[in-house]
C-alpha cells in the first residue's frame, strides 16, 4: 500500500510511497520484475483476472510489479487516485485521450505546447478522426468562446515548453467544469514538487517521466494520473466510460470501478490495444529518480534564477522568458501557483537572431546540445531548427520558438560555472 499522503511530507513520500521490502527476499529496493507473463493459480483464477473481477498480473503489457510501484508513487505525489505508466510522454497523451475521444470529436489545446505535442495533435491524431483547436490560453476568455458540444477536453501545460508560460489554471479548470469536460494538464516541466494541478481543479495529469521525474537522461517513459473526481455520468459525452463495454461482457468502467474507473479503462482497453507498455527496467530507474526529485528541483530552480538574471543583463540578449524573474508578466501567476520555484527550463532571445544562436551553441562547453530537458546536466537547444522545426513560422512564433530563441534546461552543476560558460560563448556571438 502507498504511504498515506496525509501523514507524511512530500520528501518522505518520494522515497516510500507505493513500495515496501520484497516479501519473499527482503530486498529493500523495489526489484526489477523482468518477466513477460505471470502464472495463474487455476483456470478460474485466470478467468477472473481476464474478466477484471480480481486484481493481479497477467502480462507485462498490462501491468508489472515494478511498474505498479512507480504508478502508485506518482499518483501519491500528485495527490491523485490512480495512475497508468507507459513508454513515453507522447504515448501518455494518446492514452489519456483514448477513453475520451470518438471519431469527429475535438480537443481544445493551448497553442503554447511542446512542438512535438503540437505535431502529434495536428497530424497523428487526425488518423483517429480527432481534431484540435489551438487557442491562446493566456486569455481564458478565448477558451470559453471556443467550446462546442464536440469538444471532449481542454489540454494545457502547467509550464509551457519551451517558453515557460504559466496559465491561470484555476480559471481554466472552472471553464472545463462548467462545460462538463475534463481539464488535462501536462505537468512535466513543473513536476509534482513544484506544482500540483489537482489542487487547482485539473482532472487528469500527464507526464513525460523522461524529464524531471527520471532526472538523469537515461530512460524513456510517460504516465497518466487521474484524481478520481470527474463525473462521467454528468453528460452523454463519454460512452467509453459510462456505457457497457462489449469486450468485457457489458462492464461499465465508471460504475464498476468508481473513482479509478478511468485508469482501469486506460489499462484494460487503451494500453492493452495500443501496447505502449513501460519496461520494468525503466520503471526501476524512474523509481530511483523520484527519490531525489525534491533535492534536484531545489538546485535546478536556484541555478535557473541566477542564470536568468545574468542573461537578462547581458548586452547581446534581447529578452529572457522566465516566470521567476520579477520582470516577467507571468511572475504574479508564478507566485500564486508555484511558490517553490518555476523550474529550470526557459528561453531567451539573441539580438542577432538565427546566426547568433548557431554561434552560441557551437562555442558552448558545459551545456550539452541535445533535444531533451530535465537532466542533471545543463542542456541547450535552438528550438526553431530542432524540436519545433516541423512547424510553420507562424506556429513557431506562437509557441515561443522563433528564430532568435535559445532554450536552456539548467542542471545541478555550480551556477558560477554555467554563467562562465554562457559568458564565454556569448563573446563569439
Average pLDDT over residues 263-286: 98
Cα(137)–Cα(156) distance, rounded to whole angstroms?
8
Cell of 276: 505502449
Q: Is residue 270 domain-resident?
A: yes
Average pLDDT over residues 213-233: 98
CATH number of the domain encompassing residue 357: 3.90.1150.10
Residues 247 and 354 in one domain: no
Average pLDDT over residues 59-82: 98
Average pLDDT over residues 49-53: 95
Residues whose CB is less than 8 angstroms from the CB of residue 75 and which lie 6 or more positions away in sequence, other chains included: 2, 18, 81, 82, 83, 225
Choose among 377, 301, 289, 299: nearest CA to 338.
Answer: 301
Cα(347)–Cα(320) distance, rounded to whole angstroms?
6
Domain count of the fold of the chain: 2
Model confidence pLDDT, tens digit, residues 98-147: 999 999 999 999 999 998 999 999 999 999 999 999 999 999 999 999 99
CATH number of the domain encompassing residue 240: 3.40.640.10
Residues 281 and 327 in one domain: no
Q: Is 265's pLDDT higher than 80?
A: yes
| pLDDT at residue 5, rounded to an integer | 55
Instruction: Please indicate whether residue 398 or residue 274 has the higher confidence score (pLDDT).
Output: 274
| CB burial of residue 396 (10 Å; 0-12, 13-18, 19+) | buried
Choose among 214, 212, 141: nearest CA to 175.
Answer: 141
Cell of 38: 505471470
Question: How confident is residue 288, by pLDDT bands cut at 50, 70 and 90?
Answer: very high
DSSP state letter for 409: E
- Percent pLDDT > 90 in the chain is 89
Residues 303 and 390 in one domain: yes
Question: How confident is residue 6, by pLDDT bands cut at 50, 70 and 90?
Answer: low
Q: Is 64's pLDDT higher than 50?
A: yes
Choose among 78, 79, 124: nearest CA to 101.
Answer: 124
Q: Is residue 403 domain-resident?
A: yes
The whole-angstrom distance between residue 373's C-alpha and the CA centroid of its chain comes to 12
Instruction: Please indicate whether residue 354 or residue 419 has the higher confidence score (pLDDT).
Output: 419
Q: Is residue 109 domain-resident?
A: yes
Residues 215 and 259 in one domain: yes
Q: Is residue 5 domain-resident?
A: no
Instruction: Please indicate whether residue 312 or residue 389 has the higher confidence score (pLDDT).
Output: 312
Parent domain of 115: 10-289
Choose among 216, 166, 210, 172: nearest CA to 188.
Answer: 210
Query: pTM higher than 0.85 for the full model?
Result: yes
Average pLDDT across the chain, whole number: 95
Q: Is 2's pLDDT higher than 50?
A: no
Backbone angles phi, psi at 287, to 5 degrees: -60, -45
Residues 30 and 161 in one domain: yes
Average pLDDT over residues 157-186: 96
Residues 400 and 252 in one domain: no
Residues 118 and 16 in one domain: yes
DSSP E strands: which ranges in 333-426? 345-350, 368-369, 379-381, 405-409
Cell 492493452 belongs to 272
Cα(427)–Cα(429) distance, rounded to whole angstroms?
6
Cα(211)–Cα(221) distance, rounded to whole angstroms?
9
289, 311, 336 - which closes a domain: 289
Model confidence pLDDT, tens digit, residues 350-375: 999 888 988 999 999 999 999 899 99
Residues 270 and 307 in one domain: no
Q: Is residue 2 domain-resident?
A: no
Cell 513515453 belongs to 88
Average pLDDT over residues 229-258: 97
Instruction: Please indicate whether residue 191 or residue 390 has the higher confidence score (pLDDT).
Output: 191
Peptide linkage before 157 cis (omega within 30 of 0): no
Q: Is residue 206 domain-resident?
A: yes
Residues 64 and 173 in one domain: yes
Cell of 233: 455520468
Average pLDDT over residues 374-393: 86
289, 307, 332 - which closes a domain: 289
Residues 215 and 87 in one domain: yes
289, 317, 352 - which closes a domain: 289
| pLDDT at residue 214, rounded to an integer | 98
Residues 230 and 352 in one domain: no
The region that residue 180 occupies, defined by phi over 0 for left and psi between -120 and 50 for alpha, beta otherwise, is left
Q: Is 1's pLDDT higher than 50?
A: no
Residues 306 and 283 in one domain: no
Q: Is residue 40 domain-resident?
A: yes
Average pLDDT over residues 164-181: 97
| pLDDT at residue 3, rounded to an integer | 45
The region that residue 191 occupies, defined by phi over 0 for left and psi between -120 and 50 for alpha, beta otherwise, is left
Q: Is residue 401 domain-resident?
A: yes
Amino acid at each position: 500500500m502507498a504511504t498515506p499522503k496525509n501523514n507524511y511530507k512530500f520528501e518522505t513520500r518520494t522515497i516510500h510511497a507505493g513500495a515496501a521490502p520484497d516479501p519473499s527476499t527482503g530486498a529493500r529496493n523495489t526489484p526489477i520484475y523482468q518477466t513477460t507473463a505471470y502464472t495463474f493459480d487455476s483456470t478460474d483464477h485466470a478467468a477472473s483476472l481476464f474478466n477484471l473481477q480480481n486484481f493481479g498480473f497477467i502480462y507485462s503489457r498490462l501491468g508489472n510489479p515494478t511498474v505498479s510501484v512507480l504508478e502508485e508513487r506518482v499518483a501519491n505525489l500528485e495527490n491523485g487516485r490512480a495512475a497508468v505508466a507507459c513508454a513515453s510522454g507522447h504515448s501518455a497523451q494518446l492514452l489519456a485521450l483514448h477513453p475520451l475521444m470518438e471519431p469527429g470529436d475535438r480537443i481544445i489545446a493551448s497553442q503554447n505546447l511542446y512542438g512535438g505535442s503540437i505535431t502529434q495533435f495536428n497530424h497523428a491524431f487526425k488518423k483517429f478522426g480527432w481534431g484540435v483547436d489551438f487557442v491562446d490560453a493566456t486569455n481564458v476568455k478565448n477558451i470559453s468562446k471556443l467550446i462546442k458540444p464536440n469538444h471532449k477536453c481542454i489540454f494545457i501545460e502547467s509550464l509551457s515548453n519551451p517558453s515557460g508560460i504559466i496559465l491561470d489554471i484555476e480559471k481554466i479548470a472552472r471553464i472545463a467544469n462548467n462545460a462538463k469536460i475534463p481539464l488535462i494538464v501536462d505537468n512535466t516541466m513543473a513536476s509534482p514538487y513544484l506544482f500540483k494541478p489537482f489542487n487547482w481543479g485539473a482532472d487528469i495529469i500527464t507526464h513525460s517521466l523522461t524529464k524531471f521525474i527520471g532526472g538523469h537522461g537515461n530512460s524513456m517513459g510517460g504516465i497518466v494520473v487521474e484524481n478520481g473526481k470527474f463525473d462521467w455520468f454528468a453528460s452523454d459525452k463519454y460512452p467509453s466510460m459510462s456505457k457497457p463495454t462489449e469486450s468485457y461482457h457489458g462492464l461499465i468502467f465508471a460504475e464498476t470501478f468508481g473513482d479509478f474507473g478511468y485508469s482501469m479503462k486506460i489499462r484494460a482497453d487503451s494500453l492493452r490495444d495500443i501496447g505502449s507498455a513501460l519496461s520494468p527496467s525503466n520503471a526501476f530507474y524512474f523509481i530511483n529518480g523520484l527519490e531525489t526529485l525534491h533535492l534536484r528541483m531545489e538546485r535546478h530552480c536556484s541555478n535557473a534564477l541566477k542564470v536568468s538574471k545574468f542573461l537578462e543583463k547581458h548586452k547581446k540578449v534581447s529578452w529572457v522568458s522566465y516566470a521567476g524573474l520579477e520582470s516577467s508578466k507571468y511572475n504574479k501567476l508564478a507566485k500564486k501557483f508555484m511558490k517553490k520555484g518555476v523550474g529550470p527550463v526557459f528561453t531567451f532571445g539573441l539580438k542577432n537572431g538565427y546566426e547568433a544562436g548557431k554561434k552560441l551553441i557551437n562555442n558552448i562547453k558545459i551545456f550539452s546540445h541535445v533535444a531533451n530537458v530535465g537532466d542533471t546536466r545543463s542542456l541547450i537547444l535552438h528550438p526553431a531548427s530542432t524540436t519545433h522545426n516541423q512547424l510553420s513560422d507562424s506556429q513557431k512564433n506562437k509557441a515561443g520558438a522563433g528564430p532568435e530563441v535559445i532554450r536552456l534546461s539548467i542542471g545541478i552543476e555550480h551556477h558560477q560555472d554555467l554563467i562562465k560558460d554562457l559568458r564565454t560563448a556569448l563573446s563569439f556571438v
